[in-house]
A and B are shown apart, each in its own frame.
Chain A
Amino acid sequence: MFRTSFKTAAAVIALALPAVSPAGAAAPEEKVLNIFNWSDYIAPDTIANFEKATGIKVNYDVFDSNEVLEAKLLAGQSGYDLVVPTASFLERQIKAGVFQTLDKTALTNYANLDPAIVARIAKHDPENARAMPYTWGTIGIGYNPDKIKERLGTDTITSWDVLFKPEISAKLKDCGIAILDSPSEVMAIALNYAGLDPNSEKKEDLDAGKAVLQGLRPNVKYFHSSQYINDLANGSVCVAVGYNGDMLQARNRAAEAKNGVPVRYSIPSEGTLMWFDVMAIPNDARHPQNAHAFLNYLLQPDVIAAVTNTVNFANANKAATALVNEAVRTDPGIYPSDAVREKLFAQKSHTVKFDRLLTRAWTELKTGR
């Protein structure tokens, strides 16, 4: 019976039909806006205040990795009107034709943005045509100063040496080293440390970067993109490479738990990767006008300052800096000094060919093959 039905069914395989995309309508929009943002990435009352002010009902969904967002966007018909990719990912998504051009006349508060940051983002988004800067940050070292002091004799980390010099990282192995599971970002940092162009796509540079990471590999406890937040806060790891806001979140969690675990964040002196999260509207969005209204709302200094106070990531709104809590505004891990900013570099998107080499090298590194 099994075989019979299998044979019959196999004879009528149909191939997938190409998706049909509905034409965008210029008619007045229904009062709905579908937003897809990172988890824990907005102030508690941002959405409620917007709904109250405009009468637009917001459906708010969250994701936790650029890769997941990108897979949805490239599949098409995601159903979202506003999404928040990182600029290096946005660059390739623009090439794939995912996003529509922003209507700057609808963004009356656009002049509040910091021109220096807008200029940096233009390298990913030509003429800043399709993306509005939201927040930005760095990838650095989060650590437990007590445990570092026991092992290294100092409670401050200022250099990537603690990880990339195997003789130093070996001393930290027993208290736990966690590394961000993000091949492109960690490799860029290793290349920069080795004195190479962090955006290089040369095979020999990749090998050099891999060699730097291979020295660290035996001392790494795990590679993961968010687990370190909890583990730093509860003392399961003592050093983690990850996003600055996450490290501050770990510090706050430890303080809430009153477990006496201290957490600090350091931007190493050799410099590190600076990333920008931006907001953009997919071509097939059904409520582009509402999306523009929300973008313009976020451009208000008081609105975006409240976001920064909640998420501990700097925003790109120059007019908002004065409204940010002093503790956040003066934290060098969130708003680094100009001298430190000089050392930060941005990441370009890679070719498919290089992505494959990189993922391959990363798998080899992780599995120790």
Chain B
Amino acid sequence: MSGGDHTAAQAAPGQGVASRPGPGPAVSWLGQRLRLRVPKGLGRGVVSGIPLGWLLVFFLLPFAVVLKISLADTAIAMPPYTALLDWDGEAVATLQLNFGKYLFLLEDTLYLAAYAGSLKVAAVSTLFCLLIGYPMALFIARQPAERRPLWLALVILPFWTSLLLRVYAWIGLLQHNGVINNILISLGIIDQPLVMMQTDFAVYLGVVYTYLPFMVLPLYATLEKLDDTLLEAAADLGSAPWKAFLTVTLPLSRPGMVAGSMLVFIPAVGEFVIPALMGGPDTLMIGRVLWDEFFNNRDWPMASAVAVVMMVVLVIPVMLLRNGQNKTAEHG
């Protein structure tokens, strides 16, 4: 709200300056106008128009369609839901909104449990990504500048292979007669294979492994820009290295931690592939429930309602994080 006013206030003086006729000849005034005004207005329009158009076409339009379907009712038809707007072809149009799907979401504890299950998996995975990713990012940031690209490349390297292949590689490692069990048995460390696949452990492992780079990269970007002289100053003033880390590095890297946590947490909540392939039958996550609603129950309105509520569930923690970040920015 205040953002809008702010932008408008900024634009006004700019226009005032450009439209003021200069004292010089008309040609030079025109040239000034052309040079200053056209590129400025156009450039700003293009720069803000691209993300706006992107948001409109790839986020808001699909979301509007999903919202629309969530307010319809199930039907045996193509597509399998009722129309919201019924028009008899002449004068009467009936708008029929069905909020039953949302009410059912609240009534049945399954959905609540699934949302909670997803949030838990996402939160625990984010925490582990942070605990593992932070030392990695710090290590890379403290390397000599010419070696950092190599380390970063190693972090990004897994993305060169499809996610599905990497998940299957983990299955090959973890399964009953997989690589890990075979090695442990042949070394005589265990005599019965460990059960690792189809467990919550496998889901956490898969999610942390997959999303770790999303944590490391923003953390690295923040840590790399930190002013080393601050640490030197802390040392000069008699601070032990661990204390300097806790009071200087850690608070200053907070934006990186927030960005990394969001990049891990948000997709992890909606994660479907990893729990489906690596999780056990008792791994209850919202992605699976959504799939069941859409494909097994053929209840597109219900599936859409689950998706809409998932967005709301996601927006709240993100807003909280954003607020936290803004406050830090203000104080810092």
Contact = CB atoms under 8 A, between A and B. Distances in A.
A65 interface: yes
Contact of B289 (A4, A65, A363, A369): A363
A260 interface: no
Contact of A9 (B60, B65, B282): B60
B177 A236 contact: yes
A356 B299 contact: yes
Interface string A270-290: 000000000000000000000
B76 A13 contact: no
B295 A71 contact: yes
A355 B293 CA distance: 10
Contacts of A10: 60
B61 A3 contact: no
Contacts of A356: 297, 299
Nearest to B66: A16
A25 interface: no
B298 A74 contact: yes
Interface stretch (A92-100, A147-155, A327-335): A92-100
A97 B79 contact: no
Given A5-B52, A355-B297, A74 B64 contact: no
A220 interface: yes
Contact of A359 (B48, B79, B113, B297): B297
Interface in A222-270: 222-223, 234-236
Interface string B34-59: 00000000000000100110011000
Interface string A331-369: 000000000000000000000100110011011101111
Interface stretch (B1-9, B119-127, B247-255): B1-9
Nearest to A183: B296
Interface in B225-253: none
A26 interface: no
Contact of A74 (B51, B79, B296, B297): B79
A183 B77 CA distance: 23
A225 B60 CA distance: 35
The winner among B48, B296, B297 for most chain A CB atoms within 10 A is B296
A234 B295 CA distance: 30
Contact of B48 (A1, A97, A234): A1
A14 interface: yes
A27 interface: no
Interface residues of B, number: 42
B68 A15 contact: yes
B166 interface: no
Contact of A367 (B108, B282, B298): B282
Given A13-B60, A236-B175, A352-B76, A222 B280 contact: yes
Interface in B276-330: 280-284, 289, 292-299
Interface string A1-45: 111111111101111101000000000000000000000000000
B80 A96 contact: yes
A262 to B, nearest CB: 16
A68 interface: yes
B26 interface: no
Chain A interface mostly: helix
B110 A1 contact: no
Contacts of A235: 176-177
A76 interface: yes
B289 A1 contact: no
Nearest to B69: A16
Contact of B61 (A14, A74, A369): A14
B79 to A, nearest CB: 6
Interface string A111-139: 00000000000000000000000000000
B82 interface: no
A176 interface: yes
B295 A92 contact: no
A366 B297 contact: no
Contact of A5 (B48, B68, B110): B48
A57 interface: no
B222 interface: no
B117 to A, nearest CB: 9
13 contacts: A1-B3, A3-B4, A4-B3, A4-B7, A5-B51, A12-B56, A16-B61, A222-B281, A236-B175, A236-B177, A352-B299, A363-B110, A367-B284
Interface of A: 1-10, 12-16, 18, 65, 67-68, 70-71, 73-76, 92, 95-98, 176, 183, 220-223, 234-236, 352, 355-356, 359-360, 362-364, 366-369
Interface of B: 1, 3-4, 7, 48, 51-52, 55-56, 60-61, 64-65, 68, 74, 76-80, 83, 108, 110, 113, 175-177, 198, 280-284, 289, 292-299
Given A16-B65, A16-B68, A363-B110, 20 more contacts: A1-B3, A1-B7, A3-B3, A5-B48, A5-B55, A7-B1, A9-B52, A10-B60, A12-B56, A14-B61, A15-B65, A16-B61, A71-B294, A74-B80, A96-B78, A97-B77, A234-B177, A359-B296, A367-B282, A367-B283
Leading 6 A-B pairs by shortest Cβ distance: A67-B295, A366-B281, A3-B3, A236-B176, A16-B65, A4-B4
